[in-house]
Amino acid sequence: MNLTKRQEAFALLLFQDVPQREAWGKAGYSKNMLPGVIDSNASRLAKNNKVLARLAELRSKVANKAIMNVQERQERLTEIARGRLTDYQATGRDGGYINIGKESPNTGALSEMTTTTKYDEQGNGETLITRVKLHSPTQAIDLLNKMDKLYSDIGAGYQDNRTIIIQVTSEKAKDLTEKVNDRLLEDTTS
């Protein structure tokens, strides 16, 4: 698999989850085009067999049991989003207390737990104070939404690159556009 320097850079950037348009420019390809043209060319390059093979190679190198797969990450984020303080509260004859054990639900939602003992002025009347802090459920939900691609990229300056309309008004501009497209097509297929 002989990738050009730019194709290798593009593949590495995609592997790092850089958006295609951004990866196109960072890899050294021309950014002096309409965004739709860049999107179209970047999309075509991302589907190039050599680039796909390189991405598969990179991904296989990090596949490891010590690394959470997508399902595990989604499960952990879901656990965080579903965690409630009431999951760890219990009541008894002496009042309420914190009860966290193996059987407790959504323990992945726990961010921090501290316990302190307070005494009255004479050093008597021992009171145990337990504080529980949970991870942010809204951040977990936000990450899940991003993983599932539920957000629109259009607001972030990205466009849908399935349709592109280029209107060229002069013969000179038409010739120049064809030359640029031919060169880009050469780069993406080599």
Q: Which of 33-42, 64-73, 133-142, 161-170 has the highest mean pLDDT?
A: 33-42
Q: What is the pTM of this model?
A: 0.43
The string of DSSP letters for 38-88 reads HHHHHHHHHT-HHHHHHHHHHHHHH--TTS--HHHHHHHHHHHHH--GGGG
Mean pLDDT of 155-184: 61
Structure confidence by residue, pLDDT tens digits, 105-164: 888 888 888 888 888 888 887 877 888 888 888 888 888 888 777 775 544 444 555 555
Closest by CA to 109, choosing from 77, 138, 147, 141, is 77
Q: Which residues, other chains included, contact 27 with Cβ-Cβ below 8 Å and sequence gap of 6+?
A: 6, 7, 9, 10, 13
Calculate what percentage of the chain has a pLDDT beyond 70: 79
